[in-house]
Structure 1
């Protein structure tokens, strides 16, 4: 099962050092996602899961203000037995029950490190994400501003250069 694990650059440094992504909440194409996007193909559903993980990365950045303002997501293939679907929390939410070896990570997604405009939008979104989660339309507009910047795709071999 392909899962999208939200992270930060600070946490990604630990992943590179330890050669594994710690267990925790992630996003995937779950039954609820398949139902919600019934007219979409798997690629579109996976993109939606990636976007949800990017938003979760904003929450992690809020908890780690020392981390650079860049959303960061690991895309990994994990045995389904190691994933618990948590559609009760959010459509597409899953819990990865064990660490994911870096060898199982298929790609890394991150904001463009040289795009100052994207970094400013992410900074503003980090400040607004919790209010957006609580239903503020104004805060949701700010978060949507960051989501307007596409995450770039990087191979896992590029991880040291990203950090």
Structure 2
């Protein structure tokens, strides 16, 4: 089962350093439907906005990590929509090796993401699609460009 974990760039750096993903909030599709997975990913992106609001020093880019977990490690906590559930991860964290990919806003989205993080009623983030990254690309995202 694919589980979508909200994060931020500083938290992603910690994941890469520590080898584990803390999972206080996570989302999953209640079906194998691609549209439901897309909804679960964007539910995690909304939670990422709340994480950004709590960390004003974090770059204004939503981060959603995707983990592939066995069903028995995931417990439904509440229903977000007909096809999306908030889940609890057994053990509370996920080993890095279980990560499948990441979805992150482009740098150009930062002004709109900043607006959305400070104003929960804002639709500024809605115009931006998250970009897909393979795991081996993630360290390069965190390295400042010259």
Taking structure 1 as the reference length, the TM-score comes to 0.80
Alignment gaps of 5+ in structure 2: none
More helix by share: 1
Aligned partners of 1:127, 1:147: CA distance in 2, in Å?
14
Matched residue, 1:132: none
Aligned partners of 1:55, 1:43: CA distance in 2, in Å?
19
Q: What is the DSSP-based 3-state SS (H/G/I as helix, E as strand, rest coil) of the residue aligned with 1:86?
A: strand
Aligned residues: 138
Deviations 1:38-78 (A, max 9, x none): xxx71111000001000100000111111000000101111
Matches within 5 A, 1:4-153: 4-30=4-30, 34=31, 42-87=33-78, 90-91=80-81, 92-98=85-91, 99-113=93-107, 115=108, 118-129=109-120, 139=121, 142=122, 144-153=123-132
The CA RMSD over aligned residues, in Å, is: 1.4
Aligned partners of 2:126, 2:100: CA distance in 1, in Å?
22
Alignment gaps of 5+ in structure 1: 35-40, 130-138
Taking structure 2 as the reference length, the TM-score comes to 0.89
Q: What is the DSSP-based 3-state SS (H/G/I as helix, E as strand, rest coil) of the residue aligned with 1:87?
A: strand
